[in-house]
Chains A and B, each alone.
Chain A
Amino acid sequence: MANVKIDNVIKRYGSLQVMHGVNVDIEDGEFVVLVGPSGCGKSTLLRMLAGLEEISEGTVSIGDKVVNDILPKERDIAMVFQSYALYPHKTVYDNIAFPLKMAKRPAAEIEQKVTNAAEILDLTKYLKRYPKELSGGQRQRVAMGRAIVRDPQVFLFDEPLSNLDAKLRVTMRVEIKELHQRLGTTIVYVTHDQIEAMTMADKIVVMRDGRVEQIGSPLDLYDNPGNVFVAGFIGSPSMNFVHGKIEVKDGKKAFVSDGGLTLPLPETTAAEGQSVTYGIRPEHIQIGDTGVKMQVVVVEPTGSETQIFAKAGNDLIDALVKDRVMAKPRSEIGFIIDPKDVHLFDRKTEKRI
């Protein structure tokens, strides 16, 4: 186990700069998820941690040792790739044993560690099979087995679940989380799926265009997103955004959208006349007669929940409620918004107010 420090890391491909001074501190034993849309630089950052990409500027330290110029094999890390990267000509046993053989460990130790890893990952009966004879989930477990036998200081996961179907993804998510609890090793995990990030991470690093947008615990990011991007990225379904201005009505500040819709506002430091983006999560909206009057556009029942898309003027807002709402399209509905659930962002800087 070790802490990891990414200090002002910059990455350039020729004249193109793709990473702009990234700083992340990862505590010993922490499960950190790098999340962001495609092309945000999360995989590049992970590959720099692994030693598979050069670092143009800045430093990466693992366990207080700067590893910029250290070969991957000397970094004491293990990595699970998106494609699993299993060696197709080797059996499951030989795949898992490979890192130990490379480290020239004694045969007895190799056998004991492989057997142990296979037991942890429920792979014992597949040890003689080749990767092509395994299902996606089993291949994923072999890749994890290959990582855990080395007992590394840090595990790196590069979108390991994205090739699996939805059901298997949930199962494997639990297995990885359990594995972390059992081994207590520092994990850096890359995903573009914010649900994975929310459910697995101790700490989430949200990235966009080679920059860190916000770092925090899953609930911290959910409750206090630092900007519009993080607010929209974290949470499913995504947060509703309405653009408008702060106006004073009857001596009190109120939010009035560009389309003229007035929405409840919490205590705010936003000034009168300031252009703001109003954010409210769909699951924080209740249905009731006393709410803001909207016109139903689409109702999507999923059994356990109902998602209602409604609009007032040009503003489209969706609500997610536990009740089974039988509203018809074009009928009127009331959306109750509790001011304490509202997030306000400056429209120009997109930063939280």
Chain B
Amino acid sequence: MRKQSPIVGIIFWTVVSTLTLFPIYWLFVISVKPAVQLFSTPDVILSDPFWGNYAKVWGDRLLRSYMLNSVIISTGNAILCTILGFFACYALSRFKMSGKESIFFWTITNRMAPPAVFLLPLFLLMTQVYTIGEWRLLDTQIGMILVYCTFNLPFAIWTLRPTVDGIPKELDEAAFVDGASSWKVITEIVFPLCRPGLAVTLILTWVFAWNEYLLAATLTNFNARTLTTGLSEYVTTTGTEWGIMATISVFTLIPALIVFGLVQKHIVAGLTFGAVKG
């Protein structure tokens, strides 16, 4: 068979990479232009960057608090979903119980309806049911973490189930015979072996919460407002501040890029986990 020229591959991947990365580059270009230049003839090449938007965004205490909220809510939600999802999967995988598969299917039904359907019931729950005296769950970080868990936990269970199922039960049994308690079996054997699946679940649930807009826009007001909802504040009746929005978007992208970069190896391993018999 004739060996294919590497040029074809190089051209193909250059085109694909350009199509993928250009919007991000363009976002950055917009973020380093003053408002007056934005609507002049587009200039693809970056020259004489204007850092005023970054200074403005970084100097804005409100936006900094939105970012902090986003980080806390996304991270809290991701950790909670991953841990609870792991234990749920361990129980589904290892314990004998009737209707196990029905329970498993039932968990995903939460994600079958569009999130908007849940808005009103969630709003009522957070304002009228889950209250202690004057304190309400609405517009709190913990409230948003729990709301996101409602949607992300089923996803976490579905993502982690094949991973936990893929760990042979004989390893648990060997550890039991070797003198381990149930807790030790989980922490010493099963949990470390699930690392690729856990990394995938952690990052995906984190990204879901980080990018979410609809629930955050409705169920937060000021205290737990996130960056995505903060973005919308720059679309006003008097105009849209594209430079500021682009800058916030760049800020939104950075943590996701860092997290993806750190766990990229695990994600690839996790997504292919169990694909072939090891």
Contact = CB atoms under 8 A, between A and B. Distances in A.
A102 B173 contact: no
Contacts of A98: 175, 178, 180, 188
Which of B168, B175, B177, B184 has the most chain A CB atoms closer than 10 A to its own CB? B177
Contacts of B179: 73, 99, 102-103, 150
A52 B178 CA distance: 12
B71 interface: no
A103 B184 CA distance: 12
Nearest to A158: B170
Q: How large is the interface on A (under 10, 10 to 19, 20 to 34, 35 or more residues)?
A: 20 to 34
Nearest to A83: B170
B174 A85 contact: yes
Contacts of B121: none
Contacts of A83: 168, 170
A73 B180 contact: yes
Contacts, number: 56
B22 interface: no
B181 interface: yes
A102 B184 contact: yes
A79 to B, nearest CB: 5
A259 to B, nearest CB: 49
**From DSSP, what is the main secondary structure of chain B's interface residues?**
helix
Contacts of B177: 50-52, 72-73, 77-79
A87 interface: yes
A79 B171 CA distance: 12
Nearest to B189: A87
Interface in A45-63: 50-52
Interface in B156-173: 168, 170-171, 173
Interface string B179-210: 11100100011001100000000000000000
A88 interface: yes
A52 B176 contact: yes
A79 B177 CA distance: 7
Contacts of B184: 102
A98 B192 CA distance: 15
A85 B180 contact: no
Which of A50, A72, A77 has the most chain B CB atoms closer than 10 A to its own CB? A72
A73 B173 contact: no
Contacts of B178: 73, 78, 98-99, 102, 146, 150
A126 interface: no
A309 interface: no
A182 interface: no
Contacts of A51: 176-177
B174 A73 contact: no
A89 B181 CA distance: 19
B278 to A, nearest CB: 9
A323 B171 CA distance: 50
A143 to B, nearest CB: 8
Contacts of B176: 51-52, 71-73
29 contacts: A50-B173, A50-B177, A51-B176, A51-B177, A52-B173, A71-B176, A72-B176, A72-B177, A73-B178, A73-B179, A73-B181, A77-B177, A78-B177, A79-B174, A81-B170, A81-B173, A85-B171, A87-B171, A87-B174, A87-B175, A87-B189, A88-B193, A89-B192, A98-B188, A99-B178, A99-B179, A102-B178, A102-B179, A146-B178
Interface of B: 168, 170-171, 173-181, 184, 188-189, 192-193
Closest 7 A/B residue pairs (Cβ): A85-B174, A102-B179, A99-B178, A73-B179, A85-B170, A79-B177, A72-B176
